[in-house]
Amino acid sequence: MMNTPGANNAAVRRFVWILSIAVPLLVTALFLIPPAEGLSEDTLRRVYMLPRLNALLNGCAFLCLAFSLKSIRNGQVTRHRNLNTAALALSALFLLSYVTFHMLTESTRFGGEGAIRYLYFSILISHILMSAVIVPLALFSYARGLAGDIEKHRRIAKVTMPMWLYVTATGVIVFWMISPYYPY
């Protein structure tokens, strides 16, 4: 039995919506369950390397997206697709590392005071909210591009690209701002 394009589209939509609901629920659950206990000092030092990795992954995803945008504006469709694939893979690796870190550690409190505190939380809150929204946008945009549905891809990408750039950039900024308060 052959799959029809409609059946494939429905499966892709179902997959995107499942991930779009599961990812924010998983991230929320991380803050409701207690972190792992009994980790050695050596293990904790290694675990606290993950936020640096997360910032690196976000920064690399940002660069992939920026070059992807430049590529498509220059008509380099294959390069655009490859860079978006890399950005999506980097974002998936980020999510795995982020979940691992927060399963093993308590949340770090931001220690800044005054205006910097308000700036940090405004960036953090906008980053968190857009992170939840970017999941379906990025996945639908990517899937539509791969499927060759260029008109729908372009329409959603006009919203997705600036938002995804913002999320990846602010991920790095949030790391820079919170990193002085990590214990390791």
- Mean pLDDT for 149-159 is 96
Domains and their CATH numbers in the chain? 40-181 (1.20.120.80)
pLDDT number for residue 113: 97
Residue 18, pLDDT above cutoff 70 = yes
Mean pLDDT of the chain: 94
What confidence category does residue 31 fall into, taking pLDDT thresholds of 50, 70 and 90?
confident
Residue 7 pLDDT grade (very low, low, confident, very high; cuts 50, 70, 90) = low
Q: What whole-number percentage of the chain has pLDDT above 70?
A: 96
Q: Quick one: pLDDT band at residue 1, thresholds 50, 70, 90?
A: very low
pLDDT at 9: 83
Range 123-128 average pLDDT = 97
- CA 82 to each of CA 2, 15, 32, 165: distance values in angstroms, whole numbers, following the listed order: 28, 21, 37, 17
> Does the structure show a pLDDT above 70 at 88?
yes
